[in-house]
């Protein structure tokens, strides 16, 4: 265990004015509180808080943060209390320790709804004092370094949580070194074979080629000296996880992976950064599309550097980062640079960002999210995406996640611009809205009065802000439709028991179901969130319709005009229980499609033909045909067994066609009559479990929309 004297020696290297007495007191108090507690490795538990504090000294953090590290488990795991810590060390430290304790209790890898809520709490904690997260990240780093003492299943759980949450968070905060180490430690647990394989290949490569890094480093130093640029050059091999990720993304083997080495050039001035870049590009050929200037366009966490990739010795690609020493300090500590000390005083680094502004920017778009899953989607999009920098026609910079589209750009400028967007130009050329924006491009948004957000935009937009705004607009547009549709469904349900759906009855139902008003109630029925039977039951529990009564096929669909006929589309064969939409066809009424039917794309430019429809609630007869694509073994009795299984599920086979006959397998199209989506799911489950059935799936054919029911 690191002694208090050794810990203080680490602190004095950057903060000779440290409050040694207070740190000694915290060390003694933590040691006393954890006395007798052991880690799973068999070491005294207090070795962990001391190691966390030592990690934080590498970032030159202040005394309050270091003391918090020493005490971060006392309130949770010992007899210590918030009041006792506050009395002895002050309210600031007590609040920090309490904040870390609350974060420790968050289960960030739990179910999505709970995970989203816990992410909210995490960002709230960050907004109060970023140092809470710094301690938590250091805590996780030391736990990952010592994870071998845990049970195998616990190791896997912690490693996955670290890979999914803590490593990206460290990267987003600008602490790239910590992100890389957390990823690699997790990789060692989650895929040890792949990691060991990459390390073995590295060793073989070094044996075959010699110390390539030293050779390239010497070459770079010589070029910079020749250009009279004062700079330091450092080379390093990339981490095994970084290499494995590139191999996975590019689908190539280790032998074909070229850019496995990285080099860093540290200069004195910003001007020297660009002079160094010129010297490097003059000696080695730059790789197109691999240049990023984060000095002129910094990242939101304060990161500044020039990135370029060049072809070095023997055609090997190497990545080069060029920045000043002050930029490097921020690059090493990220947002934590705000608290860094040097020579006993807070470092005045011009590139360090204000943590309050950074977290406000990060959470701004999340505040508008009411839906838990949407909030979580937005968090992950913002945390795990790199950024691109593009320009407005006036030259203003807009930062967006990588993969963003002109639609995201429009919403980033203003929600009103996004909602009215009808087109875009990139670098003066008209492009589709789904075009991916690249670094440095100029984007012009074309708007039009009367334009409203379209449902298809959700497949185009990538940023949380744009998607939230689109969903909100669509909900407002759909609200009236859902209310109208819900009204029809509810009126029909009340009529079936001889009652009227009066305002008084619906108000009573809304109150019983704890809904705001009648519109909220009808809207939920129209959108499928509630059933009409629930509404009737809330008002007349003794008169609620018996849902066991079969619904006649002729009145199975709600939302048609009086007397308007309907037929199911052959292409998707929708079933009761599935979301549907109608397409008006002259002379034939409406053709009902599943909401996800590919054939609907041909009607995108004919919105007037679309009809909001809804299946009637209740039990439907087995009268709706669905075609199944089945592959069975060519053995005696197999086909008979399949037919028996269908009959046992109370489904009728209305057609059977062999489409492919092989010596060992037959492929056939089996048309069965079913009652609803649950009936289909039940049948598929039974067929999939049959050992002689190799494959079974629902057959959909968009081309069939042109025949029969189009």
Residues labelled as active-site residues: 76-77
Distance CA(614)–CA(486), nearest Å, equals 9
Measured CA distances, 415 to 389, 461, 467 (Å): 19, 13, 11
In contact, 374 and 367? CB cutoff 8 Å: no
The SS3 call for residue 50 is: helix
In contact, 213 and 261? CB cutoff 8 Å: yes
- Return the structure tokens found at 279: 């010297």
Measured CA distances, 670 to 343, 622, 630, 691 (Å): 80, 15, 7, 18
Nearest C-alpha neighbor of 614 from the set 475, 458, 483, 473: 483
Distance CA(191)–CA(175), nearest Å, equals 24
Quickly count: other Cβ atoms within 10 Å of residue 289's Cβ. 9
In contact, 618 and 546? CB cutoff 8 Å: no
Distance CA(55)–CA(11), nearest Å, equals 11
In contact, 320 and 298? CB cutoff 8 Å: no
Distance CA(264)–CA(331), nearest Å, equals 12
What is residue 552's DSSP assignment? P
**Can you give the C-alpha Rg of the chain in angstroms?**
32
Measured CA distances, 470 to 331, 395, 526, 606 (Å): 36, 26, 20, 21
Bridge partners of 558, per DSSP, are: 614
What distance, in Å, lies between the first and last C-alpha atoms of the chain? 75
Nearest C-alpha neighbor of 176 from the set 320, 364, 336: 336
Nearest C-alpha neighbor of 686 from the set 628, 635, 634: 628
- Helix H, strand E, coil C: the string for 452-492 is CCCHHHHHCCCCHHHHHHHHHHHHHHHHHHHHHHHHHHHHH
Strand bridging mode 580-585 / 610-612: antiparallel
Bridge partners of 307, per DSSP, are: 292, 321
What is residue 227's DSSP assignment? T
Distance CA(527)–CA(558), nearest Å, equals 12
Distance CA(527)–CA(311), nearest Å, equals 57
What is residue 304's DSSP assignment? -
- Helix H, strand E, coil C: the string for 163-177 is HHHHHHHHHHCCCHH
In contact, 133 and 149? CB cutoff 8 Å: no
């Amino acid at each position: 265990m690191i002694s208090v004297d050794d810990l203080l020696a680490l602190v004095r290297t950057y903060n000779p004015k440290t409050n040694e007495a207070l740190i000694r007191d915290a060390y003694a108090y933590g040691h006393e509180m954890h006395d007798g507690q052991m880690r799973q490795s068999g070491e005294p538990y207090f070795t962990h808080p001391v190691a966390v504090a030592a990690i934080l000294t590498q970032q030159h953090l202040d005394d309050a943060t270091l003391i918090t590290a020493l005490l971060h488990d006392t309130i949770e795991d010992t007899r210590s209390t918030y009041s006792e810590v506050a009395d002895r060390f002050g309210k600031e430290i007590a609040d920090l320790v309490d904040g870390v304790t609350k974060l420790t209790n968050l289960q960030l890898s739990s179910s999505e709804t709970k995970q989203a809520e816990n992410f909210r709490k995490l960002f709230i904690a960050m907004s109060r004092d970023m140092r809470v997260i710094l301690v938590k990240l250091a805590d996780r780093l030391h736990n990952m370094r010592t994870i071998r003492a845990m049970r195998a299943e616990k190791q896997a759980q912690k490693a996955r949580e670290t890979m999914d949450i803590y490593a990206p968070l460290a990267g987003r905060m600008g602490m790239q070194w910590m992100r890389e180490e957390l990823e690699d430690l997790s990789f060692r647990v989650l895929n040890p074979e792949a990691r060991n394989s990459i390390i073995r290949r590295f060793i073989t490569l070094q044996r075959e080629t010699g110390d390539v890094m030293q050779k390239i480093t010497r070459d770079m130093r010589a070029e910079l000296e020749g250009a009279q640029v004062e700079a330091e050059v450092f080379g390093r091999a990339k981490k095994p996880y970084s290499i494995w990720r590139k191999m996975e993304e590019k689908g190539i083997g280790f032998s074909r992976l070229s850019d496995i080495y990285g080099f860093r050039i540290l200069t004195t001035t910003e001007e020297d950064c660009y002079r160094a870049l010129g010297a490097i590009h003059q000696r080695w050929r730059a790789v197109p599309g691999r240049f990023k200037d984060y000095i002129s366009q910094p990242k939101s966490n304060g990161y500044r550097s020039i990135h370029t990739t060049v072809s070095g010795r023997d055609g090997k690609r190497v990545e080069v980062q060029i920045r000043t020493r002050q930029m490097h300090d921020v690059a090493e500590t990220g947002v934590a640079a705000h608290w860094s000390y040097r020579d006993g005083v807070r470092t005045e680094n011009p590139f360090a960002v204000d943590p309050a502004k950074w977290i406000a920017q990060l959470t701004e778009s999340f505040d508008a999210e009411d839906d838990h899953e949407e909030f979580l989607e937005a968090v992950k999009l913002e945390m795990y995406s790199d950024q691109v920098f593009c320009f407005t026609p006036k030259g203003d910079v807009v930062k967006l996640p990588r993969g963003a589209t002109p639609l995201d750009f429009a919403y980033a400028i203003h929600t009103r611009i996004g909602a009215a967007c009808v087109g875009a130009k990139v670098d003066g050329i008209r492009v589709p809205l789904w075009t991916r924006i690249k670094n440095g491009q100029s984007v012009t948004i074309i708007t039009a009065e009367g334009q409203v957000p379209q449902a298809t935009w959700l497949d185009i937009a990538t940023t949380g802000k744009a998607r939230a705004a689109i969903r909100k607009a669509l909900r407002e547009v759909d609200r009236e439709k859902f209310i109208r549709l819900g009204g029809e469904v509810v009126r029909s349900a009340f009529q079936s028991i001889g009652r009227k759906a009066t305002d008084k009855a619906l108000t009573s139902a809304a109150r019983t179901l704890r809904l705001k008003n009648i519109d909220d109630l009808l809207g939920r029925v129209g959108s499928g969130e509630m059933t009409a039977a629930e509404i009737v039951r809330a008002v007349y529990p003794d008169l609620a319709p018996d849902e066991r009564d079969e619904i006649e096929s002729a009145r199975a669909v709600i939302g048609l005009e009086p007397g308007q006929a309907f037929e199911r589309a052959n292409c998707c064969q929708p079933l009761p229980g599935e979301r549907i939409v109608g397409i008006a066809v002259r002379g034939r009424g409406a053709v009902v499609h599943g909401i996800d039917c590919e054939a609907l794309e041909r009607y995108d430019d004919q919105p007037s033909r679309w009809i909001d429809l809804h299946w009637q609630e209740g039990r439907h007869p087995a009268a709706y045909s669905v075609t199944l694509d089945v592959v069975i073994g060519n053995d005696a009795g197999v086909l008979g067994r399949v037919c028996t299984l269908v009959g046992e599920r109370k489904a009728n086979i209305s057609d059977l066609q062999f489409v492919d006959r092989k010596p060992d397998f037959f492929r056939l199209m089996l048309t069965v009559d079913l009652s609803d989506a649950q009936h289909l799911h039940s049948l598929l489950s039974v067929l999939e479990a049959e050992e002689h059935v190799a494959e079974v799936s629902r057959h959909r054919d968009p081309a069939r929309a042109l025949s029969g029911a189009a």
